[in-house]
Chain A
């Protein structure tokens, strides 16, 4: 009897031991990119590294920054790798949350697409465009410039992402309220947002949500949309048209970096290397619609634009400006 019990216990222990040894090593990614994009990346990465299981936490930019900052400050974060808007990345570096690491492909990256010290490189430096629903709006009727967004005919038909939940929209808002005011003057500046508020725009909590509203026709014009999301929607077969505003296009690098003292730092380096490689950049470009950081990867939009055809205005947003933007936007929109 004792022998049988011993055999059963030993077998059980061996099974448990075997199951533990079979568990793949992990990689935990914090991401502000849409979930279906992250699923594609997970499949791509795990195909390359079958012994590593990638899991991710996805949240809109502002929420993700709050979660990451809080967890890092309290020492309870499980993140190994993080995707983030550039300005949040600057904050993380200042707080000592990012591990510098120079991937092999960085020498092929265009200036402005990477940090020379290796803290980050740009997953995307895509410009923001205007989008419209092609079933309800013809190319002739569609706005041609940012200023055209204020046309009263778009009252109740325009949408914008809410900066209280998503960080990316700070880029076009900063373009309208500061850069174009400096460059052109009226109607830009904060008055631009005040005028847009009169059109009763629909606020979405993220860019994918805004794209769904435009695609369904519930909103006819998406006042700002990253080109990556736009290309992805067109590839899905949604009736979406692109407008390249004549005043220029805002762009802020969407960055990626390795978390300091990450539990799975070697796996994080593998992902960093993969994304910086030609293969990784091509994957991002064809699946996420991103503008590649590497100059040896060619990028063409569905309407035939190359990066050299676009008037890109690089935007910088200090943290205090972000807070002020949220406050002023809220006051004007509510």
Chain B
């Protein structure tokens, strides 16, 4: 048995711990950050689970099971499965061939540029804005395209031939962002393919098609699998587009339950949705951490291009068509409608006005929404980048079991849909002890939400830039007598600056157009651009004014994107495509 330590030794021991922390304040900072990140994720999730399982007297799974087994809930589950599978398949069927066309074939540079630009537009444009445009174009009765086609083809009746309020409409309008993400992941894989393998296959007499089937596609299989998982995750969290088209998926059920005041049901569905998303996220992380991209590594020169012969023109046209349908047509429609006097008189003379823009510039609600979004986005981006500096440092520089765990925990928010997170935050900040913070109904609750949702998006570029710095540089700095702060300021920060800038811009862009959480958390004076557009579109001021607001928000996004490209060059597009995964 050990003898107890004397009092003097104990006090000395406590002092040495204090001394240790004070001698390296970074450790204290790390500890606080880890606790903060863990708290931001664990506390709201715990409140959510408690609301889902507490039946008033005891804790059990019964309330959650009851909420999920009603006929309406079952229908939403089936719809969600259809939506997720449909969107993922469309994304793979469009995104991968597009990436192949651009990266590995000889189609015209114009077509390639059109695809690249459209992908960028799709990544940063919220799906609900595209849906707004397509409702105007393909609304079954008064949709511009439908009316024109009925006249052109001499069709009778007042309906069709297209109907955006249909399953194909819902799936196609849910896909643009997923297609873009799939494209970016597949394009990166195509670009990094080692050309030797294809060349060897070609030398042995294999046709181009066979090389593609037996060498190229198997090599990018893991990238396709990763892209599919990202699409699944994105589709599970979708809200705006299905909401506008009235397609009841689980995220809509959550909001509907909140509107009806059925909080246990909202919490139950949120928990289930979160668990499923986390499994998908875990699979994705495992797929990229297994070294499955081992063959897709550094290379000395670009792989050769497949010649497409006469098909070049058809394929080029297909690529440009994608650009037209996914970007030019919807954005052009929003732009035109934003100048309509009334919806009822469409493209008629005398129905044009700039009043909708004047309305936005004069309307206090709209101005406030723009101001809120800018403030929230800047705040969320800055806090997120500060968090990711610490998390990035721990996960990149300290290769321990704890740092791996932190790496996993820190990306968990990517698996929580905005709707579920908003419900969790309402549960947290309207119950004790957090109710005392009085965050409910304020901009701060939205800021907390954005930081939790989007700081993982900034993590990837920050981690990547940190990986590129050799620790020798910092050690040399310390050997020369520089303090921790001095090394960070003069060596580390300048080298990771581009990663931090990219992370900041990514979070800013995502926050600026966030809808699914904001629409639940908004309160007096805390509307954001997205909730204001939805409110105006949904009857709070008119469809044309909503289009004007949409165009202005897109301009803001474009300006920030432009800054990103100017500051970071071409690499910025790849960073945008990484999406924090």
Residue pair B158, A220 in contact (C-beta under 8 Å): yes
Does B508 have its Cβ within 8 Å of any Cβ on chain A? Answer: no
| Across-interface contacts of B256 in A (CB, < 8 A) | 164-165
Residue pair A326, B141 in contact (C-beta under 8 Å): no
Residue in chain B with minimal CB distance to A29 = B524
Does B492 have its Cβ within 8 Å of any Cβ on chain A? Answer: no
Residue pair A326, B260 in contact (C-beta under 8 Å): yes
User: How long is the Cα–Cα vector from A326 to B72 in the complex, in angstroms?
Assistant: 12
Residue pair B535, A58 in contact (C-beta under 8 Å): yes
User: How long is the Cα–Cα vector from A114 to B80 in the complex, in angstroms?
Assistant: 47
Give per-residue flags for B63-81: 1 if the beta carbon is below 8 A from chain A beta carbons, else 0: 0000000011001000000
Sort chain B's interface into a size bin: 35 or more
Check A35/B536 contact, CB under 8 A, given A55-B525, A164-B260: yes
Does A180 have its Cβ within 8 Å of any Cβ on chain B? Answer: no
Residue pair A70, B430 in contact (C-beta under 8 Å): yes
Does B313 have its Cβ within 8 Å of any Cβ on chain A? Answer: no
Give per-residue flags for A81-109: 1 if the beta carbon is below 8 A from chain B beta carbons, else 0: 00000000000000000000000000000
CB distance from B240 to the nearest CB of A (A): 13
Does B370 have its Cβ within 8 Å of any Cβ on chain A? Answer: no
Residue pair B342, A157 in contact (C-beta under 8 Å): no
Does B246 have its Cβ within 8 Å of any Cβ on chain A? Answer: yes
Residue in chain A with minimal CB distance to B248 = A334
Residue pair B541, A203 in contact (C-beta under 8 Å): no
Residue in chain B with minimal CB distance to A65 = B261
Residue pair A218, B139 in contact (C-beta under 8 Å): yes
Give per-residue flags for A290-317: 1 if the beta carbon is below 8 A from chain B beta carbons, else 0: 0000000000000000000000000000
Residue pair B343, A215 in contact (C-beta under 8 Å): yes
CB distance from B143 to the nearest CB of A (A): 7
User: How long is the Cα–Cα vector from A204 to B139 in the complex, in angstroms?
Assistant: 14
CB distance from A232 to the nearest CB of B (A): 11
Contact of A237 among B75, B342, B440 (CB under 8 A): B342
State which of A170-178, A206-214, A260-268 sits at the interface with chain B.
A206-214
CB distance from B203 to the nearest CB of A (A): 60
CB distance from A32 to the nearest CB of B (A): 12
Residue pair B539, A216 in contact (C-beta under 8 Å): no
Residues from 158 to 175 in A contacting B, C-beta threshold 8 Å: 164-165
| Across-interface contacts of B363 in A (CB, < 8 A) | 39
| Across-interface contacts of B345 in A (CB, < 8 A) | 135, 239
Residue pair B365, A164 in contact (C-beta under 8 Å): no
User: How long is the Cα–Cα vector from A326 to B75 in the complex, in angstroms?
Assistant: 17
Contact of B159 among A70, A156, A165, A206 (CB under 8 A): A156
User: How long is the Cα–Cα vector from A69 to B345 in the complex, in angstroms?
Assistant: 42
Check A215/B539 contact, CB under 8 A, given A35-B365, A62-B260: no
| Across-interface contacts of A39 in B (CB, < 8 A) | 363-365
Residue pair A69, B540 in contact (C-beta under 8 Å): no
User: How long is the Cα–Cα vector from A36 to B159 in the complex, in angstroms?
Assistant: 31
Contact of B72 among A76, A236, A334 (CB under 8 A): A334
User: How long is the Cα–Cα vector from A237 to B348 in the complex, in angstroms?
Assistant: 14
Residue pair B140, A156 in contact (C-beta under 8 Å): yes
CB distance from B407 to the nearest CB of A (A): 37
| Across-interface contacts of A36 in B (CB, < 8 A) | 540-542
Check A211/B430 contact, CB under 8 A, given A135-B344, A218-B139: no
CB distance from A47 to the nearest CB of B (A): 15
Residue in chain B with minimal CB distance to A64 = B259
Residue pair A218, B143 in contact (C-beta under 8 Å): yes
Does B100 have its Cβ within 8 Å of any Cβ on chain A? Answer: no
Residue pair A212, B260 in contact (C-beta under 8 Å): no
Residue pair B538, A209 in contact (C-beta under 8 Å): yes
Give per-residue flags for A132-171: 1 if the beta carbon is below 8 A from chain B beta carbons, else 0: 0101100000000000000000001100000011000000
Does A57 have its Cβ within 8 Å of any Cβ on chain B? Answer: yes
Residue pair A76, B430 in contact (C-beta under 8 Å): yes
Contact of B142 among A66, A208, A217 (CB under 8 A): A217
Residue pair A136, B523 in contact (C-beta under 8 Å): no
Does A238 have its Cβ within 8 Å of any Cβ on chain B? Answer: yes
Residue pair B342, A220 in contact (C-beta under 8 Å): no
User: How long is the Cα–Cα vector from A255 to B59 in the complex, in angstroms?
Assistant: 40
| Across-interface contacts of B72 in A (CB, < 8 A) | 330, 334
Residue pair A238, B342 in contact (C-beta under 8 Å): yes
Residue pair A78, B441 in contact (C-beta under 8 Å): yes
Residue pair B540, A58 in contact (C-beta under 8 Å): yes
Give per-residue flags for B532-553: 1 if the beta carbon is below 8 A from chain A beta carbons, else 0: 0001111111110000000000
User: How long is the Cα–Cα vector from A131 to B158 in the complex, in angstroms?
Assistant: 18
Does A28 have its Cβ within 8 Å of any Cβ on chain B? Answer: yes
| Across-interface contacts of B540 in A (CB, < 8 A) | 34-36, 58, 208
CB distance from B423 to the nearest CB of A (A): 13
Does A252 have its Cβ within 8 Å of any Cβ on chain B? Answer: no
Does A19 have its Cβ within 8 Å of any Cβ on chain B? Answer: no
Does B435 have its Cβ within 8 Å of any Cβ on chain A? Answer: yes
| Across-interface contacts of B30 in A (CB, < 8 A) | none
Residue pair B524, A56 in contact (C-beta under 8 Å): yes
Task: Count how many chain A residues have C-beta atoms less than 8 Å from C-beta atoms of the other chain.
Answer: 51
| Across-interface contacts of B140 in A (CB, < 8 A) | 156, 218
Contact of A216 among B248, B344, B538 (CB under 8 A): B344
CB distance from A208 to the nearest CB of B (A): 3
Contact of B344 among A206, A210, A239 (CB under 8 A): A239
Check A76/B258 contact, CB under 8 A, given A55-B524, A56-B524, A156-B159: no
Does B165 have its Cβ within 8 Å of any Cβ on chain A? Answer: yes
Residue pair B440, A76 in contact (C-beta under 8 Å): yes
Check A205/B430 contact, CB under 8 A, given A76-B435, A219-B141: no
Residue pair B142, A216 in contact (C-beta under 8 Å): yes
Give per-residue flags for A57-75: 1 if the beta carbon is below 8 A from chain B beta carbons, else 0: 1101011011001100010
Residues from 71 to 107 in B contacting A, C-beta threshold 8 Å: 71-72, 75
Contact of A133 among B344, B441, B536 (CB under 8 A): B344
Does A202 have its Cβ within 8 Å of any Cβ on chain B? Answer: yes
Check A212/B259 contact, CB under 8 A, given A56-B524, A217-B141, A330-B72: no
| Across-interface contacts of A331 in B (CB, < 8 A) | 71
Residues from 199 to 251 in B contacting A, C-beta threshold 8 Å: 246, 248
| Across-interface contacts of A66 in B (CB, < 8 A) | 258-261
Best-surrounded residue of B71, B135, B259, B435 (most CB of chain A within 10 A): B259
User: How long is the Cα–Cα vector from A145 to B50 in the complex, in angstroms?
Assistant: 51
CB distance from A123 to the nearest CB of B (A): 18
Residue pair B165, A202 in contact (C-beta under 8 Å): yes
Give per-residue flags for B500-542: 1 if the beta carbon is below 8 A from chain A beta carbons, else 0: 0000000000000000000000011100000000011111111
Residue in chain A with minimal CB distance to B523 = A57
Residue pair B535, A35 in contact (C-beta under 8 Å): yes
Check A70/B261 contact, CB under 8 A, given A35-B536, A157-B158, A209-B538: yes
Residues from 136 to 153 in B contacting A, C-beta threshold 8 Å: 139-143
Check A218/B141 contact, CB under 8 A, given A58-B540, A212-B539: yes
Give per-residue flags for B343-365: 1 if the beta carbon is below 8 A from chain A beta carbons, else 0: 11100000000000000000111
Residue pair B261, A35 in contact (C-beta under 8 Å): no
| Across-interface contacts of B139 in A (CB, < 8 A) | 216, 218
User: How long is the Cα–Cα vector from A34 to B541 in the complex, in angstroms?
Assistant: 8
CB distance from B444 to the nearest CB of A (A): 14
User: How long is the Cα–Cα vector from A218 to B524 in the complex, in angstroms?
Assistant: 32
16 pairs from A and B in contact (CB 8 Å cutoff): A35-B540, A39-B363, A65-B261, A157-B141, A157-B159, A205-B539, A206-B538, A207-B539, A208-B540, A215-B344, A217-B142, A218-B141, A218-B143, A220-B141, A237-B342, A326-B260
Given A156-B140, A218-B143, 5 additional A-B pairs, CB 8 A: A35-B541, A36-B540, A76-B438, A206-B539, A239-B344
- 8 closest A-B pairs (Cβ-Cβ)? A208-B539, A217-B142, A35-B540, A209-B539, A216-B343, A66-B261, A218-B142, A63-B259
B interface residue numbers (CB < 8 A to A): 71-72, 75, 135, 139-143, 158-159, 165, 246, 248, 256, 258-261, 341-345, 363-365, 430, 435, 438, 440-441, 523-525, 535-543
